[in-house]
């Protein structure tokens, strides 16, 4: 692990030059790859922009290569929807001993994780004093094994504002005009519930010009899988024998589907996703990902606010749910996992000051008022790694759960009947996904 004295001197000079640009590394930096190549694998081709001229980590790639005596390559071994198979192929060919794999709950993880292709990092993390594991790592674990590469001991406390968060935007001016409650005040008092939302969307939906046609709606199309998760529903749960069992027939799921169907069948719902209808000013509430809201904010002519998904009956905490979780992991045949953790942290940990600066910039893009900023800060602090698993692109959702959910939402079947009908095929996919 120790290198020649000259290399240490050069590395020390580099660190002095970069000063605080690189965060303290909980794994240390005393590793020597002996000039070998480490491959950072992703479906995104090329060197990440952060390392290029003008990027927030300009020059750090070269610093890492000198400090760790390593060559670094960024490769795209497969397309996003084939990345798991590409990683398995590298593993089987023995090409992955110095790989770092980019994964996501939507792409790759459920191909390689249940197959035993990832290196569990529990023992390494446990050996570092005061090390904290983030909500993301806990979410993207299997059977208690943690696979996500944490950047540092502060990773659980210093969170980026994830603009992939699913939240509810509301048209402040429309609600004030209709004499309806402000969702922010309801949220602050713990009263932002399905019942409160029903009052708003029912009264906001109406014909405003007297032509007999609805031209103002209470809510847009709601991503059903995220709404169900906010109610405590999950596609599968661990049974007494340790196997994963279909759970989309639980009371939480049935209740969430039934509520969404009631709003839709009552005519309160505008048939637009995210903020397409909302941005025109004729939809009171819009469920969607925050980055899309940030993009259209400059063109919006009304003031809006943001709150989390409303509380389901029986739920006591608001859920902050993100669209997707990106992370890096190490293949199970890694030659030196701790060295790869150290290299990854050196390259990608920008430290708490950089996190704060990033969050300030994103707040500026997203928050038109203090109330929205308060909710976004609450989301940063309260997020527990919640995301839809295994993801809406997985066959379990795309081929089975989602079609069944829309049968319920469109009034074709009851929630209980739809879930009972798909249970066998869904369980088969769950068995296959977890190799059980």
- CA 91 to CA 83: how far, in whole Å? 12
Write the pLDDT tens digit of every residue in 391-403. Answer: 888 999 999 999 9
Which residue in this structure is represented by tokens 């005393």?
Answer: 30
**Which pair of tokens denotes residue 227?**
């709404």
**Backbone torsions φ then ψ of 302, nearest 5 degrees:** -140, 160
What domain range includes position 407?
223-266+394-436
Q: Does the pLDDT value for residue 79 go beyond 60? A: yes
- Report the DSSP beta bridge partners of residue 254: none
Q: Report the pLDDT value the prediction gives residue 132, as an integer from 0 to 100.
A: 86
Residue-wise pLDDT for 304-316, tens only, equals 999 999 999 988 9
Q: Strand 283-289 to strand 217-219: parallel, antiparallel, or no bridges (unpaired)?
A: parallel
Task: Kindly tell me if the per-residue pLDDT of 9 is higher than 60.
Answer: no
**359 lies in some domain:** no
Helix 60-67 to helix 5-18 angle (10° resolution) is: 160
209 plus 118 within the same structural domain: no
Q: Give dist(CA 159, CA 134) in Å, integer.
A: 9
Handedness of CA 196, 291, 146, 247 (dihedral sign): positive
Contact 137, 146 (CB under 8 A): yes
For residue 195, the SS3 value is helix
In a domain? residue 356? no
Residue 354: inside a domain: no
Distance CA 416, CA 208 (A): 37
Q: Is residue 336 part of a domain?
A: yes
Which pLDDT value is given to residue 5? 34
What is the C-alpha to C-alpha distance for residues 15 and 50, in angstroms, rounded to an integer?
Answer: 18
CATH of the domain at 49: 3.40.190.10
HSE of 433, CA atoms in CB hemisphere, 13 A: 24
Indicate whether 95 belongs to any domain.
yes
- The answer on 128 and 15 residing in a single domain is yes
Q: What is the percent of the chain where pLDDT is above 70?
A: 93
Q: Is residue 28 assigned to a domain?
A: yes
Same domain (yes/no): 21, 146: yes
Tokens of 64: 């890492």
Over the stretch 242-265, which tens digit does the pLDDT of each residue have? 899 999 999 999 999 999 999 999
In this structure, the answer to whether residues 37 and 94 fall within a common structural domain is yes
Contact predicate 321/206, CB 8 Å: no
Residue range 365-376, pLDDT digits in tens: 888 899 999 999
DSSP 8-state symbol, 80: G
What are 236's strand-pairing partners?
A: 246
Distance CA 423, CA 436 (A): 16
* Backbone angles phi and psi of 54, in degrees to 5: 90, -10
Q: What letter would DSSP give residue 287?
A: E
Is 1 in a helix, a strand, or coil? coil
Please report which confidence band the pLDDT of residue 436 belongs to, taking 50, 70 and 90 as the band edges.
Answer: confident
Nearest CA-CA partner of 197 in 314, 309, 279: 309
Whether the pLDDT of residue 3 is over 70: the answer is no
Domain shared by 147 and 25, yes or no:
yes
pLDDT above 80 for 162 = yes
Helices (H) and strands (E) in the chain, counts: 18, 13
C-alpha–C-alpha distance, residues 90 and 142, integer Å:
22
337-345 average pLDDT score? 97
Q: 21 and 141: one domain?
A: yes
Across the chain, mean pLDDT equals 91
- Determine the pLDDT at residue 260: 98
Give the pTM. Answer: 0.88
Nearest partner of 230 among 177, 166, 299, judged by Cα:
166
Structure tokens at 424: 């066998």
Same domain, 275 and 134: no
- Which residue, among 429, 423, 422, 434, has the nearest Cα to 394 in the 3D structure? 429
When comparing pLDDT for 399 and 15, which is higher?
399
pLDDT score for 351: 84
Mean pLDDT computed over 87-98: 98
Q: How many domains does the chain have?
A: 3
**Cα separation of 358 and 419, whole Å?**
42
Is residue 43 domain-resident? yes
- Are 96 and 41 in the same domain? yes
Radius of gyration of the chain (CA): 24
Quote the tokens at residue 45: 């081709």
CA distance linking residue 296 with residue 274, whole number of Å: 11
Domain identity same for 180 and 242: no
Cis peptide preceding 390, ω within 30 of 0: yes
Contacts of 233 (CB under 8 A, 6+ apart): 247, 248, 250, 252, 253, 256
Residue 4 counted as domain residue: no
The residues pairing with 71 across neighbouring beta strands, listed in sequence order, are 37
Distance between CA atoms of 388 and 262, rounded to whole angstroms? 23
3-state secondary structure of 68: coil
Q: How far apart are CA 64 and CA 216, in angstroms?
A: 56
Task: Record the tokens describing residue 80, joined without a space.
Answer: 């996003």
- Same-domain pairing of 274 and 419: no
Q: Identify whether residues 45 and 177 lie together within a single domain.
A: no
For range 198-222, the mean pLDDT: 95
Is there a single domain that holds both residue 244 and residue 199? no
pLDDT greater than 80 at residue 34: yes
């Amino acid at each position: 692990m120790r290198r020649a004295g000259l290399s240490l001197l050069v590395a020390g000079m580099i660190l002095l030059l970069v000063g605080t640009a690189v965060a303290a590394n909980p794994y240390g930096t005393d590793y020597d790859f002996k000039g070998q190549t480490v491959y950072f694998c992703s479906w995104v081709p090329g060197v990440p922009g952060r390392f290029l001229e003008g990027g927030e980590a300009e020059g750090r790639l070269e610093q890492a290569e000198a400090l760790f005596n390593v060559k670094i390559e960024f490769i795209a071994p497969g397309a996003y929807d084939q990345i798991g198979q590409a990683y398995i192929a590298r593993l089987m060919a023995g090409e992955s001993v110095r790989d770092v794999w980019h994964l996501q709950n939507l792409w790759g993880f459920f191909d390689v994780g249940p197959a035993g292709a990832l290196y569990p990092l529990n023992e390494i993390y446990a050996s570092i004093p005061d090390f904290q594991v983030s909500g993301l790592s806990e979410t993207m674990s299997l059977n208690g094994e943690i696979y996500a590469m944490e950047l540092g001991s502060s990773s659980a406390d210093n969170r980026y504002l994830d603009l992939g968060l699913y939240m509810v935007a509301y048209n402040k001016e429309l609600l004030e005009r209709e004499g309806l409650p402000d969702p922010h005040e309801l949220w602050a008092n713990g009263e932002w519930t399905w019942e409160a939302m029903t009052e708003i969307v029912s009264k906001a939906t109406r014909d405003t010009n007297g032509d007999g046609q609805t031209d103002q709606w209470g809510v847009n199309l709601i991503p059903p899988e995220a709404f169900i998760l906010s109610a405590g529903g999950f596609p599968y749960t661990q049974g007494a024998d340790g196997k994963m069992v279909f759970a989309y027939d639980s009371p939480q799921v049935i209740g969430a589907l039934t509520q969404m169907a009631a709003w839709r069948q009552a005519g309160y719902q505008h048939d637009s996703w995210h903020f397409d209808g909302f941005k025109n000013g004729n939809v009171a509430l819009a469920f969607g990902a925050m980055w899309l809201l940030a993009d259209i904010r400059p063109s919006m002519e009304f003031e809006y606010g943001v709150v989390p998904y409303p509380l389901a009956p029986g739920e006591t905490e608001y859920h902050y749910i993100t669209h997707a979780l990106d992370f890096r992991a190490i293949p199970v045949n890694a030659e030196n996992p701790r060295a790869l953790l150290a290299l990854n942290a050196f390259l990608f940990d920008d430290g708490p000051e950089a996190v704060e600066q990033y969050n300030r910039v994103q707040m500026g893009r997203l928050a038109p008022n203090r109330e929205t900023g308060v909710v976004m800060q609450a989301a940063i602090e309260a997020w527990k790694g919640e995301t839809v698993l295994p993801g809406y692109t997985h066959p379990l959702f795309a081929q089975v759960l989602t079609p069944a959910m829309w049968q319920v939402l469109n009034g074709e079947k009851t929630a209980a009947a739809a879930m009972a009908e798909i249970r066998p095929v869904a369980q088969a996919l769950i068995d296959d996904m977890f190799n059980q």
